[in-house]
A and B are shown apart, each in its own frame.
Chain A
């Protein structure tokens, strides 16, 4: 018999610990990989036509969290893995094994298991992310987002995982070098002092008339490991609840934005008489599609590459504004709502020179949405004095056009009307459907709401995916923690049974212990998350109450679900132990 035979037997004996280590690594890595495959996908992150920038910017936070989680969790799972084997190596040291042999063995073990975990994680992650994109495409019907093989998420995952694992194994593997052998021999039996929190809890529970000395003795074990676990699980649950709150807020803001950015039910423009259609024709189209036009008006404008120009008197008259712009002056108008949650460039232009060498000075700026957005408009809006505007409109280098603003009796029923109108315009213009969409599309409230609806479904799916991953990981974290101490609990329970404790009592001890293992972090996260949601949503959208209610709902749901399943969970543990 050689030492390698012995090593094999030891690995066989500790297989469950290897499995635990493997699974822990697998989970955190899959979690991270899933995010990596989203945030490295340019279609997803930079394509504002398909994915609302609000959604892509909300991927960043959980991605960072999952990376942080990986970096924190790997050393932790390795430490648990090692601590299970310290006494064994202590004995081998007594019998004359050299420390460097032990360290080499342990590092090799760790590296091999970590390597397999990485390969498995990449495989599972690939499948999960393919499912993710598959669902977006076929479940939500959002075109333009495809899963395709991309090396970047693999590179990032391998890099982060590799660096963390190597650093962990190198640093912690040497933990066998330094402690006294006597210390290692005592490892599994070392008593830990109770922390302040536990003492306090004990006193509180004694105050309620029942002393729970034995129950608390189960909780004192591995205090350090558990406090790390608690912190991480609070971290994740808080992320979950905050995400739910944010999701609710953002979701609502999609609809609010649709309302704000579409003051008119229908808007289209003509430029140099292209895209022109007679009023009579529009009204007939409306009638034939069973909608009534309650308001029909138009507004002249001019534009060049960067600016839309509007005459001040028309704007004042039509939208009830009170702008005063003298000759030689202009006003910057930003057609945004600052509570929409997006960031906008609000730096005003101070000085422009028109084609006819007319110099204009800015008199300031205003932020206000007057009418819907449309592809015919340039990015910036300037309001000029009427005289200046007239002069400018005469210049052939500026495109002059008209905006048609329509209100309907029931915009929700305007789908057919809009389609017909679009089609008629396209026929008049004699362009392809694509060009019509790019240059002369009709803007409408209906379309805005439809887009909001798609974005909302998309957001809910993406967030649920992330929330699911986080919830699952935090459960795994606690569950594996409990599994890891099965042997010890078994011994204590056995001793207690010998002292005359009944099976029923043992079960109640386990239930009590599991309550403390699962529930406190949910309660803490619940409170922390409420504060975070309030701060984030208040700043971005003023939708904090909705967010808090949603967060509270989900927090309460997780709490109740966990509380209810503890009995079954404890029953399973009980069966495993006895």
Chain B
């Protein structure tokens, strides 16, 4: 049973040099509880792909199915509610709100879902300690470092225990130690709640923790390695050095 399925996904941009086909008939599936890494050179369309899958950008053509729902057949409201309950998102540029402090930023998904204070407190406690930002909670967004912002973004994505995590470079700004913490946290989540994770990354270490690694290049997936294969880590390394 696939939680996420995409077929014939196309997306192109009109640029001054002509039409740029960023996604060219891309097909993709992800099983429940699976962790998939998408790697690829800069500008290859990873972010575009991720945004199309979670419904915040519209592909030119193609079909996307999430659980039993076809994305293009869902109304905007249904999709919003779906995202609210089942998705956790980490953006490459974090997309935290400067108007709110860190606590409020992290709590947003619960607040939007109308959960009560007690639950908010409990969940916040849990994720904040998992990513190690308990001491920062009352600070403003402009007062923390890039790595700290990244952890806030991760905490926001996990706080409502979503079924699918879409993460765009979740460890791009973290040091080795923090990266390990975050990976451990994500692994724990996926084990505890059977969360599926789609992770765009440049980090070999992150990729090697996933069940499957896909290489996106020239508008399509050109390579795929599964954990079950022999010499998984080595093959991932070769794939990522392309």
Interfacial residues, chain A to chain B (CB-CB below 8 A): 1-3, 5-6, 9-10, 12-14, 87-88, 90-100, 177, 180-183, 185
Interface residue? B109 (CB, 8 A): yes
Bound complex: CA A426 to CA B58 (Å) = 91
B181 to chain A: which residues have CB within 8 Å? none
Option from A3, A14, A180, A183 in Cβ contact (under 8 Å) with B112: A3
B74 at the interface (CB under 8 A from A): no
Q: Is the CB of B77 within 8 A of A99?
A: yes
Q: Output the residue of A5, A95, A177 with the most chain B CB within 10 A.
A: A95
Whether, in the assembled complex, B97 has its beta carbon less than 8 Å from a beta carbon of chain A, the answer is yes
Contact (Cβ within 8 A) A99 B76: yes
Known: A88-B99, A185-B56. A96 touches B111 (CB 8 A): no
B57 CB to closest chain A CB (Å) equals: 4
- Tell me the dominant secondary structure on chain A's binding face: helix
A-facing mask of B106-127, CB < 8 A → 1, else 0?
0111011110010010000000
Which residue from chain A places its CB closest to the CB of B113 in the assembled complex? A96
Extra contacts besides A97-B84, A98-B76, A182-B56 (13): CB < 8 Å: A1-B120, A2-B114, A3-B114, A10-B100, A13-B100, A14-B99, A88-B99, A91-B95, A93-B56, A94-B95, A95-B112, A96-B87, A183-B57
Residues of B within 8 A of A92 (CB): 108, 112
CB distance from A183 to the nearest CB of B (A): 8
Q: A94-B95, A182-B57 are in contact. Are A1 and B107 (CB under 8 A)?
A: yes
Do A2 and B56 contact each other (CB < 8 Å), given the known contacts A94-B95, A96-B81? no
Most buried by A among B54, B87, B111: B111
Q: Which of B80, B95, B97, B120 contacts A98 (CB 8 A)?
A: B80
A95 CB contacts on chain B under 8 angstroms: 83-84, 89, 108-109, 112, 156
B162 CB to closest chain A CB, in angstroms?
Answer: 10
The chain B residues found within 8 Å of chain A, CB to CB, are 51, 54-58, 76-77, 80-85, 87, 89, 91, 95-100, 104, 107-109, 111-114, 117, 120, 156
Please give the distance in Å from B37's CB to the nearest CB on chain A. 22
Contact residues in B for A2 (Cβ distance below 8 Å): 111, 114
Could you say which residues of chain B place their CB within 8 Å of the CB of A90? 95
Contact A97 B112, beta carbon cutoff 8 Å? yes
Closest Cβ of chain B to A273, distance in Å, is 89
CB closest chain-B residue, reference A12: B99
Q: Contact between B85 and A96 (Cβ–Cβ < 8 Å)?
A: yes
Closest approach, in angstroms, between the C-beta of B38 and any C-beta of chain A?
17
B95, closest chain A residue (CB): A91
The answer to whether A96 and B112 touch (CB under 8 A), given A14-B99, A91-B95, is yes
Q: How far is the CA of A573 from the CA of B220 in the complex (A)?
A: 49
Are B95 and A1 neighbours in the complex by a CB distance under 8 Å? no
Question: Which chain A positions have C-beta within 8 A of B84?
Answer: 95-97
What chain A residues lie within 8 Å of B98 (beta carbons)? 13
Nearest to B58 among chain A residues (CB) is A180
